[in-house]
Amino acid sequence: METRDYYRTDVATAPGDATAVDLVDRMAHFGIGSVVIVDGAGRPVGIVTDRDLTCRVVAKGADPKAVRASEIMSAPLVTCGPSDAIEVAIERMRGAGVRRLPVVREGQLTGLVAIDDFLVELGRELDDLAEAARREVEIARRRGRRERRREDLEESLGELRASVERAGRDAAEFVSREFESLRERLRRATKS
C-alpha cells in the first residue's frame, strides 16, 4: 500500500508571515488541526498544528496577532512522497514524533497524510481479515479439522483486536509483524 492511496489533497497552506490568528482562522474554516507553511514559490517549509499554537503561543502568553507562522512552525519539515509505502510514512512519523506528514512531489506540496488516515484503513483491513479468519474457522469446524487450529485463529484475532487499540504508538511494528502473521496463518488454513 502506498501513501497516495490515503492522503488528502485539500491542504490548508499559509505563508511564513501569516499571524497565529490567521492560522487559527484557517484551521477553524477548514475544520482541521494543521496548516502547512509555504515559501514564496509554494514549496512547503514547515507546519503549524493546533498543538503548536497552544504550546508556542497561548501557553507563553504571546500576542497571537503579532506572532508569525515562521516563528512557531515545526521545521525542518518531515515529508513523504506519494509513492512511499505506508510503512515508510509511519516510520517517518514515529521517528519525528509527528502525526501528520505533508506529501511532496518534486518539491511541491501535493497533499497531507495523518496517522489517523492509516489507522482507519488498517482497521478496515483488520475487519476484513478477521471476517476471513472467522469463515476459515467455520469451514474447519464443518470439516472436522483439529480444534487447536480454531483456537489459534481465535487467539490471533483477540491479539489483533488488542493490537489495534495500541496502534497509535505501535503502528509500524503492528503492520510489519501482526498483519503478516495473520495472513500466513490464513494461508496455511486455506491450504490444509
What's the CA gap between 126 and 156, in Å, rounded?
A: 11
pTM above 0.75, yes or no: no
What's the CA gap between 130 and 186, in Å, rounded?
A: 10
* Contact by Cβ (8 Å): 15, 69: yes
Q: Which triple of cell numbers denotes residue 169?
A: 504508538
Please give the CATH architecture assigned to the domain spanning 3-114. Roll (3.10)
Query: What does the pLDDT look like over 15-24, one tens digit per residue?
Result: 999 999 999 9
What's the CA gap between 187 and 103, in Å, rounded?
A: 34
Residue boundaries of the structural domains of the chain: 3-114, 118-191
Q: Return the SS3 of 15.
A: strand
Query: What does the pLDDT look like over 94-150, one tens digit per residue?
Result: 999 998 999 999 999 999 988 887 777 777 778 888 888 888 888 777 776 567 766
